[in-house]
Amino acid sequence: MLQSLLREEVINCMRCGLCLATCPTYSLLKLERASPRGRLALLRAVSEGRLTPSENLVREIYLCLLCEACETACPAGVKVGHLVERVRAETKGWVPPSIWERALRRLVFQGLFPHPRRLEFLARILRSYQRLGLESLVRQLGISQRLPKSLT
C-alpha cells in the first residue's frame, strides 16, 4: 500500500521549494528533512529501496504538524498532509514503542483524557508553569529530552 501511495504523490513533487516558506517545522529547524520536500524525498528513497525504515525516518514523518500549509503553496498539488497521515498509519509497526512510551501513552489516553477534572487540573498546572517561566529550567535540566517524541 505504501508503495502505491508514494508512486502517486511523491513523483508529482517538482522539488521547487515553494513549500519551504509555509512549513512551520522547516521554518523552525531549517533542515531539509523537516520540510515537506525533504519528507517526500525520504519516503521516495524508502519506496525505491535506497533507505530502510528506521526510528529516525519515523521521527521526521511525525514532525509534520499536518497543517497542510504546504499544500496551498504547491503548484503540483501534492497532498503532503494526506500522504503523511497515510504513511503514519503504515509506519506504526516499523519501530516498536519503548516501555516508557507505552506507559506514558497509557497514562495520557486512559488515565487523563477520559477524565475532565484531571484535564482541568493539568491545565491549571501548565498555566502556572508558563506564568512562572519554568520552561528554561526544564530545558536546562534536560527533562523534556527524556519524554517520547510522539504519543500517537
In tens, the pLDDT along 15-70 reads 999 999 999 999 989 999 999 999 999 888 888 888 888 878 888 888 899 999 99
Q: Does domain 2-91 have CATH number 1.20.1050.10?
A: no
Selected residue with higher pLDDT from 29 and 136: 29
Beta carbons within 8 Å of 70's beta carbon, 6+ residues apart = 19, 22, 23, 36, 78, 80, 81
- Domain regions of the chain by residue span: 2-91, 99-146
pLDDT for the residue 134: 85
